[in-house]
Amino acid sequence: MPEGQVLELTGLTKRFGAVSAVDSLDARVEPGLVTGFLGPNGAGKTTSLRMLLGLVRPTSGTATIGGKRYTDLASPLQTVGAALEASSFHPGRSAANHLKVYARAAKLPTSRVDEVLGLVGLADVAGRRVGGFSLGMRQRLGLATALLGDPGVLVLDEPTNGLDPEGIRWMRSLLRHLAEEGRTVLISSHLLAEVQQTVDALLIISHGRLVFQGGVEDLADPDEYATVVDAPDRAALSALLDERGIPYQLLRNGFTIRHLEPVEVGALAAGAGIALSNLQSKGASLEDIFLELVSGVRVHASAGGTTVATPTPDTALPDAGVTDAAIPTPAVDPLPAATPVEAEPEPVGDVPSAEPAPSTDMVAIPAPSRAARAASHPPQTEPEQPRPSYSVASTGVIDVVPSAPPRHDGDPVAATDDTEVPR
């Protein structure tokens, strides 16, 4: 039985010119678990995996498998199986010959070729040229290549891409089974929903930086709940809530109220004689939390060495992020009055002037970007009510950002959008 190994990334950094694709990434992947490696497109997932596998040379830092770098492994295919993309095949070579090529290189018996082809359900097309394969078949062949050496570590980049629903289910159960055998399984994806049911642990990166590390259950804060309430007479309900000073958010399905139990809301409405048409409690959606994490609206303490000293992301503190030297922003000066704050230097989608990287636009997701913008103007949107949290308009979920206390209200810079930097 092959042994699972611990994968360890330490200060892993890759720069392409001035752009940091991966920025001092520290992470640990344990055996016996399926670990999801998540992040939006362009977050640096594939680059990180390629550094782990010795295909891309890190600018600094190390990535090890059981304490060894990939290039130092005595028998790499028997230690780590990797499937990085569904296109690493010569179209004119048959599936069996493709596997035979790498079986030869790893000194594996060619009988192993038929075994893995059977395992991934490609035994019938073993002799067919890969050029005629569908994306799903290529994914299966990539997985077969990864399983060839019966490795203790599996690294799969977007393994469910192109699979039909049945194939996705098969892949999930296979990955679970492999992890239960004690192997280390690391799969990347840009969708939390895609891996949510499969993974035990999560690594989330954004703009090359770790924003979350931990179990799926750690992702959602149990204190974070909301009540959705609706009434035929919405005007009366909103008047009641305004009167009580209860913040709410009006969405298509009704009013979303934070930190209030349905029983409290119901009692309130009953007291005011308002008939309700809907009253339910709502947990935070993991997908929303994920989107907020990658957009920088939400900061999680598990982000290791990159974690903030203050729990406030730089979106709420315009003078925090730009003081960090790690951001490639030579043109941007910190605020003259700013004291250097050790803050999350995560570049956020809505500060294009502070982030010269062209990739910023690609990673910016409209919804969290708007959310981030909303977060950066607490004094303007809710000037008279500084609260520890406020709503995020598009997602319907609380973010945990407290209002920024040290704002220079007289400072013209603080009042403007934080994309405006003093020149």
Partner 1 sequence: MSLVAVTRSEYTKQFSTVGWWVLAIVLVVYVAFTAGVLALVFGGVASGRLTGNGPTPQTDGLAGLVYSSASGVGYVFPLLVGTLMVTTEFRHKTLTPTFLATPRRGVVLGGKFFVGIVVGLLYGILGSAAALAAGAGVLSIFGVDPELGSSDTWTLVGRMLLAFALWAVVGIGVGTVVRNQVAAIVIVLAVTLFIEPIVRTLGGLVSGFSDVVKWFPSAASDALVGKTIFGAMSAGGSGSLDWWVGGLVLLGYAVVFLVIGLFTTWRRDVD
Instruction: Using CB under 8 A, list all residues that contact partner 1.
Output: 46, 50, 53-57, 70-71, 73, 76-77, 80, 82, 84-85, 87-94, 97, 100-102, 104-107, 145
Smallest separation, CB 132 to partner 1 (Å): 14
Smallest separation, CB 329 to partner 1 (Å): 25
Smallest separation, CB 150 to partner 1 (Å): 14
Place of tokens 């092959």: 2
Smallest separation, CB 142 to partner 1 (Å): 9
Contact 297, 392 (CB under 8 A): yes
* Cα distance between residue 75 and residue 147, in whole Å: 14
For residue 236, the tally of other CB atoms under 10 A from its CB is 15
CA torsion angle for 149, 151, 153, 159 (degrees, to 10)? 50
Where would I find the beta strands (DSSP E) of 163-224? 184-189, 201-206, 209-215
Identify which of residues 82 and 343 has a Cβ nearer to partner 1 in the complex: 82
* Cα distance between residue 65 and residue 69, in whole Å: 6
- Residue 347 vs residues 3, 40, 393: alpha-carbon distances, Å: 39, 14, 21
Identify which of residues 49 and 204 has a Cβ nearer to partner 1 in the complex: 49
Identify which of residues 70 and 290 has a Cβ nearer to partner 1 in the complex: 70
Identify which of residues 110 and 381 has a Cβ nearer to partner 1 in the complex: 110
- Residue 209 vs residues 212, 221, 310: alpha-carbon distances, Å: 9, 22, 18
Smallest separation, CB 63 to partner 1 (Å): 13
Identify which of residues 52 and 317 has a Cβ nearer to partner 1 in the complex: 52
SS3 content of the chain, % helix, strand, coil (to 5): 35, 20, 45
Smallest separation, CB 8 to partner 1 (Å): 18
* Cα distance between residue 219 and residue 236, in whole Å: 36
Identify which of residues 92 and 330 has a Cβ nearer to partner 1 in the complex: 92
